[in-house]
Chain A
Amino acid sequence: MRGAWRSRNLLAGGAITALMVLIALVSLVWTPYGPTQIDIVHRLATPSAAHPLGTDLFGRDELSMLMAGAQSSLSVALIAVIVGAGIGVPIGAFAAARGGVPDDLVMRACDLAFAFPALLTAVMITALAGPGAINAMLAIGIFNIPVFARITRGAARGVWGREFILAARAAGRHDTAITVLHVLPNIAAVLLVQATIQFALAIVADAGLSYVGLGTQPPQPSWGRMLNDAQTFIWRAPLLAVFPGLAITFAVLGLNLLGDGLQDLLDPRVRRAR
C-alpha cells in the first residue's frame, strides 16, 4: 500500500517533469504564435479558440509565452544546478577525503554562505553583475555550491567510514581514485535527489529574479516577468497572473514529487524499512 503510494510519487513527479521538459523543448521549434509577437488590437483577450489562454497587455499569446517561459526557466535552473553541483560536489568530496583542517575550513565556509539569505544574495549578485539570464544562472548556481558541498561531504564521510573503503585503501588505491571509483557512485543517489530539490528551488529563485527584473530580460519571456506584467491588470485580467503562477507551482511540485520518489527508489535502506 505504502509502496504503491511511493511509486505513484515517482510516476506523477516524473510525468510532470517530463511534460515540462517536453514543452520547453517544443517551444524551441514551435509555439502557437511567436512568443514576442505583439497584437495590440487583441490585447488582454480572454481565453478563446484562437488564444487558449488569452493574451497579455501587448496582445502576445499567453500560451506561447508560457511555453517559451518554461524553456528559459528550466534552462536557467538547470545551469544553476550544474554550476552548483559541478563546483560543490568536488569541494565536498575533497573535504570528506581529507578530513581534519581542510574539512573544517570547507564546512565553516559553508556555514558562512548559509548565513546569507539565498534570494537576497542572488539579488545582490545580479544587481552588481548586471541583470540577465546568464548572471541569474551564476547567482543561483553560486548559492547551490555550499548546498552540494555540504550534502556531498556528509554522505561521503559516511561512505569513507565503511569497510570497503578501507579495503580499497589496503588494495593500494589513493584517495582521489577511491573518491571517484567508490565514494561518488555510492552517494550518487543522494546527490540526484538533492539535485531535483535544488532544481525546484532554482526555478523559484529564477522566477523571483525575473519578477524583480534582474533575471531573463525581455523580450525573452519568463514566468517571473509574466507575473510582474500581470500585476498591473490583476483586476481586469486575473488569469494572466494565475497561469504563470500555476506553471511555477506545477514545475516545483513535479520536481519535488520526483525527488521524493527517487529517494525511496534509490535508497534501499529506506525502502526496506518501510
Chain B
Amino acid sequence: MLAVENLSVSLPMEGGRVPVLADVSFALARGESVGLVGESGSGKSMTALAIMGLLPPGAATSGRVLFDGRDLLAAAEPELCAIRGRRIGMVFQEPMTALNPLMSIGAQVTEPLRLHLRLGRAEAEARARRLLARVGLAQIDPHRHPHQLSGGQRQRVVIAIALACGPELLIADEPTTALDVTMQAQVLDLLGELAAEQGLALLLITHDLGVVSATAARVMVMYAGRVVEAGGTGAVFAAMAHPYTRALFAASPHEAGGRPAPIPGQVPDPQHRPPGCAFAPRCPRAQRDCVATVPVLSPLPFKGRGLGEGSACGASAASPAPSPPPSPASGRGSHVAACFHPHPAP
C-alpha cells in the first residue's frame, strides 16, 4: 500500500542545501505495523513529513513515495489535501501543542468529518462523540478545551482526530514521548487495538525500542538520515547486527539489563555528516574502511566467509559494491543492515 523508494530529502540551510534523508526505502502493507526508531535528529519526523507532503518550504526531494500506486512526491496540493486526514492520519509528539487552544475538542474531532466526509453538523457531532468514546474519553464533555485535559487525554483526542475518517495508514510520530509511563502503555495499547480493529497500517515513530518491540511487527532503525537496520522485530532484536542498534538498545531503559548506557557523542548535524558510515565516529567496531564508503543495506546474515570482523571486512573490501538494497516489495520482512562489520549472529 505504501512504498517508499530511495527517498532523499535536502533542505536549504545557511551554507547551501543539506541532505537530511538519504536513500530511505521501505514498504508497508495494509494492516501492518512498522516501527521507525532512532535518536533525536536521525530523520524520523522528516520521513513522516515527506510521506504527508508536509516538508518545510524549499525542501528538495528525490525518489518516490507510492501510496496505492500514486507518487505522493509528485502529487499536487489539492490531491494531497484530499488524502491527508482522509486516507492517511497523523498523530503528533506533543499533545500539548497539536490541538488548537481556542477550539473545543469536540469541534476539532468534528472538523475532518465535515471536511472530508461532508457530514452534516448533527451527524458529525454524533460521530465525534462515538470516536471520543472509542479512544476512552466517553466521560469527557466535548465542549471542553484542550487546556482542560491532561496530556494523555489530549493525545487520545489527537488520535481520535487522526482516525476520524477511517484512514488506511496512520503515522504516529512519537505519540507517547510526552506522556508519563503508565499513560504511554495505555496510549500504545489503544493504538495497537485500533490498528488491528480497523485494519490500518501503522508507522510508529519512536526513539524507544521498548515501544517498538511491544507494538510493531517490523522495525527500521534510522541514523543520520539513513535506514541502517531493518527486519522483523524479533529478528532485529535477536541479532542487533548493526552496532548502532545495539548502542540504542543499551541506551534505552529495559528490564533485562541494568542501567542504560548512553551512546557517546551526538548525532551529527546534517551539515557535518562524516564521510563513509555516519556512525563511525561513535562506533566501537569502526575500522579504517568504514570512513571510505557509505555502507549499503545488505541482507543478513552475510553470505560467504563467516561473520567475524576481519572476514566481513575483507568481504566488503573484495566486493566494493555490497548487494543492492532489497526491493521494497520483495524484501519485506528480510533482515538487512548497513554495516561493514556487523555483530555476528548470536
Contacts and interface: CB of A to CB of B under 8 A. Distances in A.
Q: Most B CB atoms within 10 A — which of A163, A167, A169, A177?
A: A167
A163 B115 contact: no
A170 B54 contact: yes
A173 B115 contact: yes
B83 A167 contact: no
A148 B208 CA distance: 46
Interface residues of A, number: 19
Given A172-B81, A174-B77, A164 B97 contact: yes
Interface of A: 99-100, 162-164, 166-174, 177, 181-182, 185-186
16 contacts: A99-B57, A162-B97, A164-B97, A164-B99, A166-B98, A169-B52, A170-B84, A170-B92, A171-B85, A171-B90, A171-B111, A171-B161, A174-B77, A174-B78, A177-B115, A186-B101
Interface of B: 52, 54, 57-58, 77-78, 81-86, 89-90, 92-94, 97-103, 111-112, 115-116, 158, 161-162
B85 A172 contact: yes
Given A163-B93, A167-B92, 8 more contacts: A163-B92, A164-B100, A167-B99, A167-B158, A169-B52, A171-B115, A172-B86, A182-B100
Contacts of A99: 57
Contacts of A182: 100, 103
B245 to A, nearest CB: 29
B233 to A, nearest CB: 26
B102 A172 contact: no
Contacts of B92: 163, 166-167, 170
Q: Most B CB atoms within 10 A — which of A99, A162, A171, A177?
A: A171
A243 to B, nearest CB: 44
The 4 closest A-B pairs by CB, nearest first: A172-B85, A171-B85, A170-B90, A172-B84
A4 B250 CA distance: 55
B85 A170 contact: yes
A177 B81 CA distance: 11
